[in-house]
């Protein structure tokens, strides 16, 4: 089931998410809903706080090539164990900040540990777009948005655009 995605500014997007202590049916259902919502958006990653659920859960799938097999990942309690000193800059966007993009510099490679949807602990190294995406989504769990890496003027400009978008959507819905 597709769920509505919160749009910045929303105080829930700035909160720190709580660790997941068990994989209940409701949480597994949430993970499936998150994947459906992400693919529909369309996006390559989504964090539970973006749906107003303050738990440490992210989903991602950075396979973008037409005809390639999707690789959906569900990560409960993901944490970065190691990050490369080498960095890369990538133009990031966010489903909670629609149609706004900015260059963000992050470590080029990260090693991440998480619990998958079967309850198994997994560890994997990510590079390229996967590295950027997993760091971006883990930031959401810490209440951090990609615009927090930008200079204040640019961040304020994007925030004002989002406030205007929210007002327009409220008028259309009302």
Q: Which residues contact 29 (CB under 8 A, 6 or more apart)?
A: none
Catalytic residues, by residue number, are: 137
Between the alpha carbon of residue 112 and those of residues 16, 22, 164, the distances in Å are 19, 19, 37
Q: Which residue has 């706004």 as its token pair?
A: 100
> CA angle 11-171-154, nearest 5°?
45
Measuring CA to CA, which residue among 114, 109, 116 is closest to residue 131?
109
């Amino acid at each position: 089931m597709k769920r509505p995605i919160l749009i910045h500014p929303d105080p829930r997007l700035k909160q720190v998410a709580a660790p997941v202590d068990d994989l209940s049916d409701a949480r597994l259902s949430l993970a499936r809903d998150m994947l459906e919502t992400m693919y529909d958006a369309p996006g390559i990653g989504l964090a539970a706080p973006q749906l107003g659920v303050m738990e440490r859960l992210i989903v991602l799938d950075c396979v973008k090539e037409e005809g390639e097999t999707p690789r959906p990942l569900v990560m409960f309690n993901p944490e970065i164990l190691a990050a490369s000193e080498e960095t890369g800059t990538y133009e990031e966007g966010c489903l909670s900040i629609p149609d706004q993009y900015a260059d963000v510099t992050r470590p080029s490679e990260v090693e991440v540990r998480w619990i998958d949807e079967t309850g198994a602990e997994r560890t994997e190294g990510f590079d390229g777009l996967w590295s950027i995406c997993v760091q971006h989504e883990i930031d959401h769990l810490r209440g951090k948005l990609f615009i927090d890496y930008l200079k204040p003027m640019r961040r304020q400009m994007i925030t004002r655009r989002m406030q205007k978008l929210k007002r327009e959507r409220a008028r259309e819905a009302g």
